[in-house]
Structure 1
């Protein structure tokens, strides 16, 4: 039986164990979205993860409305990421960049532009800005020309990621952000080639993935989906009709791995009564499958051992436990994270959590 603590190959990426660090926004970049030196220490501390999936990283000014989040569209950003990836590699770790376009989940005061989406909708909750939370704005529906431009932005960001030293990229198609706003019928009200049928709603995911593969290769490309439940106002009435074909498409494109964030009825942040889809997705996606969301040590070990998934991505446990792999392997107690410092600007709650040894 496979073990959570044994290596796995995913395309060109060799992970030394199957405890992955999932993407988590920590807001430590500059207002110009340039990574800062403190991020080197943060990621290096966690390099024992089989694979680090970076915090969500903007593909363009238009697509990044999160204060102090990093980007990958300028040369200055590329250069600032290089010390991070070099330090992770020096510790024997692997790291991929999660590529992000937030769509409607952003405010014009951050980007200087009206938010965009599949349709003229708006995010359901107030949005973070440099001046506190502000009410969401109605998004401008993307034209076909806009979509083509954004697809190209993903390809450029993927090339920039490799120049910055990343081992690959993950396309963020989950959690209610732009691609998810196309995938799910609660947000996509279009009647053209990008709306209506599941096949049409999947189209932008296919085009983005093909553009990234053309830029850096399928062996360095992965995707994150959130197939069930509500994510920032995005939910689908029949998710199995959308996400199983989407997974089959990604399998046919031979991406390196697929990560699923799946909500359960008792989730810590988000709950859903919609069934999890990793079972039927596993039947059509034969490449490595990574699962995420509230896994305990025992659940993670069993899920990998029984072949339900090939790896487990942990989020919040990695905040407070830079040595999470060691703690899980030796069944040691976990540090508790402090939610008040998740997005604070200094080292507290970022690089000062203790190691077990």
Structure 2
């Protein structure tokens, strides 16, 4: 065993509310499009998550709180009894493997959706279409102009998030992560180029934050704040988002929610050398999960361990890794021992089926094969 692994905080237990995590490595939520057509989690998904059950915490992939929030084909939902039953088999599989606590990410796509996927016209803070195509069952199609949400739509959607959180707990999850990042509905409310509203949910930073804050508060009231995390991606421009005022908005958002007793704040593409990360760490009193920026086309030779260590040194409490966990079901042991990591097979990420999903080899299999 690599001697430096023995002294790394990555592999020490961590107390997250009432949960004890065996290590500080979090499996980040990653859409894999392996759900049934109606958004129900499948037995194949149960195998996938159980394989990765040595993570300290698993945040399961984005699930929509209602039908109109669906993004792409074969993404998961958490708004029907079938969805609860499907996710329950996933949670039970992870528990049977002696595995990690699990949170479920709840995501509404907003304008990142298409009638061919949901059967409905997407909704958004303002009627501004996504400047890109949307994947549908028949291939990429131009995004449609979303319908601007009314105040009643906003109230209903907030209620849908709360109901989805209760369903997640019914399915056996330990908590939920509200997805406020990566250009989806909550992020669309935060960004000035996608939120042109002139009512109380637009305009100023406080106005654009209001929907996010009210969603988080409703979810916390539904299941308890210590079971709720929030994911953000300051400055991230994916899905046509303008992050120009990130340095003002995100410290204010963190400060507004700092006394709510949430389980954690999760920062995507966290940069320990950026002053904004330090400001948020100073403002946020609780657990901070940081997701480092890693190359999109490959996994670093060390599996992301160096980037993870830098974020811990900069003040993060837990480190979320995506693609390294995707390609390495036993990532924790590989990082602990300095073993080589599997590369990602990009072409198989979203195509469905077991290939590129549950067939990544673990260390014993590699050893047996003479690797």
Q: TM-score with structure 1 length normalisation?
A: 0.94
Structure 1 position 10 matched with structure 2 position 36: no
* Correspondence list, 1:9-48, <5 A: 9-48=15-54
| Contact 1:262–1:276 (CA under 8 A) maintained in structure 2 | no
Secondary structure (helix, strand or coil) at the match of 2:290 reads strand
Deviation per residue, 1:143-200 (Å, 9 max, x gap): 1110000000000000000000001000000000000000011211111100011011
Aligned to 1:316: 323
Moved more, 237-246 or 145-154: 237-246
Aligned to 2:292: 293
Say which structure is richer in helix.
2
2:234 corresponds, among 216, 224, 227, to 227
* Structure 1 residue 129: Cα displacement: 0.7
Moved more, 204-213 or 236-245: 236-245
Structure 1 position 279 matched with structure 2 position 278: yes
| Contact 2:62–2:104 (CA under 8 A) maintained in structure 1 | yes
| Contact 1:11–1:255 (CA under 8 A) maintained in structure 2 | no
Moved more, 71-80 or 294-303: 294-303
| Contact 2:69–2:107 (CA under 8 A) maintained in structure 1 | yes
* Structure 1 residue 275: Cα displacement: 4.9
How far apart are the structure 2 equivalents of 1:65 and 1:228? Answer: 22
Structure 1 segments of 4+ aligned residues over 4 angstroms from their partners: none
1:67 corresponds, among 73, 81, 100, to 73
* Correspondence list, 1:201-280, <5 A: 201-262=208-269, 275=274, 277-280=276-279
| Contact 2:269–2:293 (CA under 8 A) maintained in structure 1 | no
| Contact 1:228–1:276 (CA under 8 A) maintained in structure 2 | no
How far apart are the structure 1 equivalents of 2:323 and 2:130? Answer: 24
Structure 1 position 56 matched with structure 2 position 55: no
Aligned to 2:190: 183
Deviation per residue, 1:100-144 (Å, 9 max, x gap): 100000111111111111111011210011111100011111111
* Structure 1 residue 263: Cα displacement: 6.5
Aligned to 1:95: 102
Structure 1 position 132 matched with structure 2 position 139: yes
CA 1:253–1:102 in 2, change beyond 3 Å: closer, same or farther?
A: same
Secondary structure (helix, strand or coil) at the match of 2:363 reads coil
Aligned to 1:329: 336
| Contact 1:59–1:99 (CA under 8 A) maintained in structure 2 | yes
> What is the aligned-residue RMSD (CA, Å)?
1.5
Q: TM-score with structure 2 length normalisation?
A: 0.91
| Structure 1 spans left out of the alignment, 5+ residues | 265-273
How far apart are the structure 2 equivalents of 1:348 and 1:54? Answer: 19
| Contact 2:231–2:265 (CA under 8 A) maintained in structure 1 | yes
Secondary structure (helix, strand or coil) at the match of 1:291 reads strand
How far apart are the structure 2 equivalents of 1:294 and 1:93? Answer: 24
* Structure 1 residue 236: Cα displacement: 2.5
| Contact 2:326–2:344 (CA under 8 A) maintained in structure 1 | yes
| Contact 1:263–1:276 (CA under 8 A) maintained in structure 2 | no
Aligned to 1:149: 156
| Contact 2:290–2:316 (CA under 8 A) maintained in structure 1 | yes
| Contact 1:171–1:221 (CA under 8 A) maintained in structure 2 | yes
1:81 corresponds, among 77, 80, 87, to 87
* Structure 1 residue 80: Cα displacement: 1.1
How far apart are the structure 2 equivalents of 1:287 and 1:249? Answer: 13
How far apart are the structure 2 equivalents of 1:293 and 1:68? Answer: 27
* Structure 1 residue 276: Cα displacement: 6.2
